[in-house]
Structure 1
Amino acid sequence: MTLSRLITLLMTLLLLPITVGALAIVAQHNREQWKEQLASHAQDTAIALGLALQPYLAANDLAGAESLVDAIFDGGYYQTILVRAADGSQLIERQANPRPTDVPGWLVAALPLPTPLLGAPIMNGWKQSGMVTVGSHPGYAYRALWLDLWSLGRWFVLGWLASSLLVAAGLRWILASLRTLEDQALRVARLEFTTQKNLPRIRELRRITEALNLLSDKFRGLFSEYSASAESLRELAYRDPLTGLPNARFLQNALAETWETNETRQLMLIQIDGFQALNARLGRANADRILSAAAKTLKRAVKGQSGALLVRLESATFALLAENLGPEPMSRLAACLQAELTDTVASGNGDPPLTACFGICELTDGLTATEALSLADAALRRAQAQGAGLIVSEPRNPQDEQERDLWLKTQLANQTLSLRWQAVADPRRGISLHREAYARLPDADGRLLPAHAFLPFAERNGLQGELDRQVIALVLAELKRADRNGPPCAVNLAAESLADERFVNDLLDALSPRDVGGRLLVETGEAAFLTHRESVGHALKKLRERGVGIGLDRFGRRFADFGYLLDWRPDYLKLDGTLVRRILDDVSGRFYLQSLAHLAHGLNLTLIATQVESEAQQAQLVELGVDGVQGHWVDGLESGGVRSEE
């Protein structure tokens, strides 16, 4: 029962006995008054009628006496009129039905009105010639009594209604504040630390609101401290303290992930020229300051490159790992970096601007991390031998890239895209949480190529949106065919697609009631989301309002404040593969991942580990608090009748 209904019921229970008691008192008081009036009315009529009948009885005119009695009796105000002679014989008798017909019977039974018979003598001189007896009819009294009670009861009801409306209005105002407090308390329970700016006027409610605001602020501070602690753990393990860039260890994990996911990447080594001599001449402190300035310059220059990872390896050597960039774009990027470094003056002692040498290597299948670094280092050495510039270790034939571009456009125009599915399992309960769709396109021999083989060409030719449209269409078609009680279907969309308002509107129009309610999940990468946070966040909010689940992929890859999770709440997080690959022998990595698990669970988010390769990894991840696993280890699971692959 709601508080408003309870108060209304209590008010009714309070007013009901008061109303009944007041009506009973008024009824009893009016009854006594009417009893006296009926007796007085009967007595007065008897005296008057006795005087009026005197000449008729003296003349022995019985007919005239009856006419007089009838004239009085027919008015309806009398129940009984009796006229007797002096010897007691009955001369005239008139009787009426004592029960009134226009009042409720329960009123007559509850409030009986006795009608006393009162008489007066009929005199003939000094001699009594007869006796007249009169009894008033109670009908008029009952009607008057009923009208009084009805009017009084109606006013009580109107007063109750008016009071109820006033109480309801007051309760509505009070309960609105209570509902706001309830909503704020639930938000705090979900770790959504909001505060109320408009405090209620009621003192008690205002104090509760102030207490909740204080609690919310305290929890936000605790969460921020915990988030900062988790991030500091990662920074100690993976960040260079001088430049603030990721270190060589982080690059090793990123390179290992490249071969796990078969992504197309370019590796560039950057060596600042003459830094050792600069260090010896200016001293370590000044050299470190110059190195920090160079790192900031490089970081600023690659900021606009999606998926670019800038790392400090050692001394004045940096590495840049770029996703889905061909040799030509990579060469242009190196030239841009060279120009930016040229604008960075080495010192204030008239030294020339900084210059650097660049070595580029494309990460092809079969290369290990050590081999890739060796190839890039060899290219760097050749560049240094020439004095400056860059060398690409394995140049590509531009004609091959043009053929790939034409092939991709043809395949998308012919809609030859197909999907392969990979299950995401709950290792504790042994069930499938959802299954993720991966795009495939056939090559000239009919073999299905994974997404990493054509994504660079899609991005270069502006076809990422069309590719995502076809993937979404196939996923929605699968949802229509699949069992409604089966696991949800997830699809990873590019941030560029989600930032496109037309793409999002078309997706919303394509959704049917069967697709929502948790059956469709949309993922996007953490790095891409943070780059396009406003536009992508707006699109994901629209999708969530339609019942689409939201996931954040490659979580924990970037050095970022996790506070953004408070404002933008995905349904689940997928850990970046670099955090999982070395989980068995990386103590600091395990501690960091456990901190991420506590962070996710504190926000009621599901944490999923990707690229799980063995039972030992899965057992370790479960121990650290991971909720789901995805990768080759779960490839043998059956999910909704579709064998998972990838």
Structure 2
Amino acid sequence: MTLYRQLLIWMLIVFFSLITSVFVIQFNTTRDYLHEQQSTELTNALSAVSLALSPYLEAKDYVSAESVIHATFDSSFYRQVKLDLMDTHPIIERTYANSVASVPNWFHRVIDIQPITHTIDLTSGWLQLGTLSVTSNPAYAYFQLWQAVVQLIIGFSGSFLLGACILAAILSRVLKPLTAIQQRAKAMSKNTFGDPLSVPRTRELADVVIAFNHMSAQLKHHFEQQAQEAERLRVRAFQDPVSGLANRSYLMTQLEAWLSRPTKGGVALLQADLIKDCYQREGYEAGDRLVATLAQRLKVLATDDFTIARLNQAEFMLLAPNTDAQELMLLGRTLLNISSELHSDPLDVSPMQAAVGLVMRREDDTISTLLAQVDNALMQARQQASDPLALLAVDQPSVTMGKQQWKQLVDEAIANHQIKLKFQQAIDSQGQPLHAEVFAYIEKGQQQYNAGQFIGALEQLDAGSQFDRHVIELIFQQLADTPELGPIAVNITQSSISDTGFIRWLGTKMKANPALRERILFELPEISFIKHSNDTDLLCEIIHQHAFAFGIDNFGHNFGSLHSLSTLRPAYVKLDFAYTNQIDDQAKADLLNSITRTTNNQGIILIASRVETHEQLDKLAALNVKGFQGFVVDAIHREKTQ
């Protein structure tokens, strides 16, 4: 129960007790007054009638005496009148009705008003003529008391209701600063900080608000400092400070992870001679500005899979997994065009001051062999002055599928119900499941196609929303059919996030299934928060409005800011593999520890992916990582389910 309700209820109880006390006092006073009034009226009536009866009784005119009695006591104030004469004349007695129709019977039974009997001796000098006894009728007293009770109940009820409304309004106004503090405390528990609260006039609450504003500002500043510290460590470890792109260390980590998996793709090496010339002719400041300009344009090519890094003063490398030779050539051409745009040549007669070397990976490639090949490709490109772009000839599969072929395959799979789902568990440090990430694949006859093989093609064609809708429909159906299943994390493609139709559809889907809000999470790629920030913010807001939750995948791959986490309020972030690999390096361990502190303080679960050994899991847990996903997690999950 809220403090407002408790105070209001207790104040109403006290108010009701006071009104009840006043009611009882007023009731008893009225009843005593009516009882006394009966006695007074009897006394007055007896005094008046005794004077009138004495002459008639002395003359023994009993008919006139009886007429006086009838005339005097003919009303509802009296129940019985009795005249007992001293001679042999019969007793004169008169009785009146004893009920009032307007008073309920239960009131008669609850309230006891006894009749009053007064007796007076009638005399003439020293001679006693008779005795007159009169008994009052309490019916009129009941009637008067009932009318008073009705008026008191109406008056006190109206006063109580009016007082309750006034008390509620006063309490609401007085406790308004406390309500504001409560709302701000709830927001702070979710790491949301707003403008300082206005200071109320009440001295005690003013002190509380001032202290609360100070604490809120300090906490916000502390979180910002933590995020800034993590940013500084990340820049130092993995980011080139001039361009804002990945550095050589980060690229080597990505290359190692890419070459460890059986996927296709290639690398492109751009050498921009105009940058080297700028450094030599105009100095470091001008050279740094040119690097920053080129890097900003290169970021247009960034995706959740691609990695763009600056290797040295004038060399940039693009790692492009899941691409074929034709797509790699297009990427290389784009790199060349971006570089040429920085070179001012209105007549287009000077030679191009850039070259791009391209290499498709082979199954037996290592980092050293791949880098050697791309260097050879770059040398070959520099020898082609008219078109400084070269793809090093390597063995390629004889048959490859283009984007439209992949899209056709996916469309057929959706139509023929060939989309299948498999799950990978994410657990906490105690081995308890956090959620299961769903991976979709196509099963066509004896052939299987993983999502990594065709998602890139769908993204390039902006056709991911149809695939996402189908997968989400399958998951919602499974959750409805299997109550014990969940929570499940489902990936959303970039093209779906940029599709307003998909966002409306997903909002309607969540609204129609509120019971599943604790059993499904939506996983959004980090790159969408950078390249499609408005659409992604809209989707996140709709997810929050329907009380569902989302996570961020590949966090840190494109160097997204940690400052935005408090605004976005994700349930978890899945850290890029580069941050959790080689944590024996103290610099990388310090960086990871700083990131975990930032996310843990904001109530966000940090998940490390590709955890392959128990030793790696233990080291990550020691650095306050709260979630794990990978080969060793699958093994732990299998052991528990067997």
TM bucket (normalised to shorter chain) is 0.7 to 0.9
Match of residue 570 from structure 1 = 570
1:503 matches 2:502: yes
Asked if structure 2 preserves the Cα contact closer than 8 Å seen for 1:242 and 1:288, the reply is no
Match of residue 349 from structure 1 = none
SS at match of 1:228: helix
Match of residue 597 from structure 1 = 596
Deviations along 1:376-428, one digit per CA (max 9) or x if unpaired, are 11110112233461101148999956656325414423426433424224253
Match of residue 426 from structure 1 = 427
Match of residue 229 from structure 1 = 229
Q: For 1:640 and 1:70, locate their aligned partners in 2 and report how far apart those are by CA, in whole Å.
A: 109
Q: Once the 2 structures are TM-superposed, how far is the Cα of residue 197 of structure 1 from its aligned partner?
A: 5.6
**Letter of the structure 1 residue corresponding to residue 319 of structure 2:** L
Q: Once the 2 structures are TM-superposed, how far is the Cα of residue 554 of structure 1 from its aligned partner?
A: 0.7
C-alpha spacing 1:2/1:488, structure 2 compared with 1 (3 Å): closer
Q: Once the 2 structures are TM-superposed, how far is the Cα of residue 218 of structure 1 from its aligned partner?
A: 1.8
C-alpha spacing 1:105/1:474, structure 2 compared with 1 (3 Å): closer
Deviations along 1:26-71, one digit per CA (max 9) or x if unpaired, are 4555456545543442233234433444565456454554354344
Out of 362, 365, 370, the position equivalent to 1:367 is: 365
C-alpha spacing 1:139/1:427, structure 2 compared with 1 (3 Å): closer
Match of residue 457 from structure 1 = 457
Match of residue 331 from structure 1 = 332
Asked if structure 1 preserves the Cα contact closer than 8 Å seen for 2:479 and 2:486, the reply is no
Asked if structure 2 preserves the Cα contact closer than 8 Å seen for 1:518 and 1:548, the reply is yes
Deviations along 1:301-327, one digit per CA (max 9) or x if unpaired, are 223223253322123222223455513
Q: For 2:404 and 2:33, locate their aligned partners in 1 and report how far apart those are by CA, in whole Å.
A: 108
C-alpha spacing 1:474/1:364, structure 2 compared with 1 (3 Å): farther
**Letter of the structure 2 residue corresponding to residue 194 of structure 1:** G
Q: Once the 2 structures are TM-superposed, how far is the Cα of residue 167 of structure 1 from its aligned partner?
A: 0.5
Match of residue 628 from structure 1 = 627
**Letter of the structure 1 residue corresponding to residue 486 of structure 2:** P
Higher alpha-carbon deviation: 221-230 or 354-363: 354-363
Higher alpha-carbon deviation: 599-608 or 49-58: 49-58
Q: For 1:640 and 1:88, locate their aligned partners in 2 and report how far apart those are by CA, in whole Å.
A: 120
C-alpha spacing 1:189/1:521, structure 2 compared with 1 (3 Å): closer
Match of residue 191 from structure 1 = 191
Which residues in structure 2 correspond to 1:105-504 (within 5 Å)?
A: 115-119=116-120, 121=122, 123=124, 129-196=129-196, 200=200, 202-260=202-260, 262=262, 264-273=264-273, 282=281, 286-307=282-303, 308-322=306-320, 326-343=327-344, 355-387=353-385, 389-394=388-393, 405-415=404-414, 417-426=418-427, 428-442=429-443, 446-482=446-482, 484-504=483-503
C-alpha spacing 1:173/1:318, structure 2 compared with 1 (3 Å): same
Asked if structure 1 preserves the Cα contact closer than 8 Å seen for 2:79 and 2:95, the reply is yes
Q: Once the 2 structures are TM-superposed, how far is the Cα of residue 344 of structure 1 from its aligned partner?
A: 9.4
C-alpha spacing 1:344/1:577, structure 2 compared with 1 (3 Å): farther
Q: For 1:575 and 1:178, locate their aligned partners in 2 and report how far apart those are by CA, in whole Å.
A: 39
SS at match of 2:618: helix
Match of residue 348 from structure 1 = none
Asked if structure 2 preserves the Cα contact closer than 8 Å seen for 1:594 and 1:624, the reply is yes
Q: Once the 2 structures are TM-superposed, how far is the Cα of residue 251 of structure 1 from its aligned partner?
A: 0.8
Q: For 1:468 and 1:257, locate their aligned partners in 2 and report how far apart those are by CA, in whole Å.
A: 27
Which residues in structure 2 correspond to 1:511-550 (within 5 Å)?
A: 511=510, 513=513, 516-550=516-550
Q: Once the 2 structures are TM-superposed, how far is the Cα of residue 198 of structure 1 from its aligned partner?
A: 5.5
**Letter of the structure 1 residue corresponding to residue 404 of structure 2:** D
**Letter of the structure 2 residue corresponding to residue 305 of structure 1:** L
Deviations along 1:458-504, one digit per CA (max 9) or x if unpaired, are 2333322223233223323332343x223322211112202211112
C-alpha spacing 1:100/1:90, structure 2 compared with 1 (3 Å): farther
Q: Once the 2 structures are TM-superposed, how far is the Cα of residue 457 of structure 1 from its aligned partner?
A: 2.4
SS at match of 1:303: helix
Q: Once the 2 structures are TM-superposed, how far is the Cα of residue 203 of structure 1 from its aligned partner?
A: 5.0
Q: For 1:641 and 1:481, locate their aligned partners in 2 and report how far apart those are by CA, in whole Å.
A: 23
**Letter of the structure 2 residue corresponding to residue 424 of structure 1:** Q
Query: Aligned residue pairs: how many?
Result: 629
Tell me the TM-score normalized by structure 1. Answer: 0.86
C-alpha spacing 1:521/1:79, structure 2 compared with 1 (3 Å): same
SS at match of 2:516: coil
Deviations along 1:199-247, one digit per CA (max 9) or x if unpaired, are 5565544443343333222211111111111111121122334544322
Asked if structure 2 preserves the Cα contact closer than 8 Å seen for 1:230 and 1:595, the reply is yes
Deviations along 1:72-114, one digit per CA (max 9) or x if unpaired, are 4442222342323345976313356889884777789877566
Unaligned runs of 5+ in 1: 346-351
C-alpha spacing 1:251/1:448, structure 2 compared with 1 (3 Å): same
**Letter of the structure 1 residue corresponding to residue 285 of structure 2:** R
Asked if structure 2 preserves the Cα contact closer than 8 Å seen for 1:423 and 1:432, the reply is no
Q: For 2:395 and 2:505, locate their aligned partners in 1 and report how far apart those are by CA, in whole Å.
A: 38
CA RMSD of aligned residues (A): 3.7
**Letter of the structure 2 residue corresponding to residue 3 of structure 1:** L
Q: For 2:209 and 2:392, locate their aligned partners in 1 and report how far apart those are by CA, in whole Å.
A: 65
**Letter of the structure 2 residue corresponding to residue 321 of structure 1:** L
SS at match of 2:383: helix
C-alpha spacing 1:374/1:144, structure 2 compared with 1 (3 Å): same
Higher alpha-carbon deviation: 602-611 or 455-464: 455-464
Asked if structure 2 preserves the Cα contact closer than 8 Å seen for 1:498 and 1:504, the reply is yes
Asked if structure 2 preserves the Cα contact closer than 8 Å seen for 1:581 and 1:611, the reply is no
SS at match of 1:160: helix
Higher alpha-carbon deviation: 266-275 or 311-320: 266-275
Asked if structure 1 preserves the Cα contact closer than 8 Å seen for 2:459 and 2:493, the reply is no
Q: For 1:20 and 1:70, locate their aligned partners in 2 and report how far apart those are by CA, in whole Å.
A: 44
Q: Once the 2 structures are TM-superposed, how far is the Cα of residue 538 of structure 1 from its aligned partner?
A: 1.3
C-alpha spacing 1:301/1:265, structure 2 compared with 1 (3 Å): farther
SS at match of 2:422: strand
Q: For 1:540 and 1:344, locate their aligned partners in 2 and report how far apart those are by CA, in whole Å.
A: 45
C-alpha spacing 1:107/1:23, structure 2 compared with 1 (3 Å): farther
C-alpha spacing 1:152/1:586, structure 2 compared with 1 (3 Å): same
Unaligned runs of 5+ in 2: none
SS at match of 2:46: helix
C-alpha spacing 1:499/1:216, structure 2 compared with 1 (3 Å): farther
Q: For 1:604 and 1:71, locate their aligned partners in 2 and report how far apart those are by CA, in whole Å.
A: 94
Q: For 1:327 and 1:603, locate their aligned partners in 2 and report how far apart those are by CA, in whole Å.
A: 40
Higher alpha-carbon deviation: 211-220 or 49-58: 49-58
C-alpha spacing 1:256/1:168, structure 2 compared with 1 (3 Å): same
Higher alpha-carbon deviation: 166-175 or 22-31: 22-31
**Letter of the structure 1 residue corresponding to residue 440 of structure 2:** A
Q: For 2:633 and 2:25, locate their aligned partners in 1 and report how far apart those are by CA, in whole Å.
A: 84
Q: Once the 2 structures are TM-superposed, how far is the Cα of residue 600 of structure 1 from its aligned partner?
A: 1.4
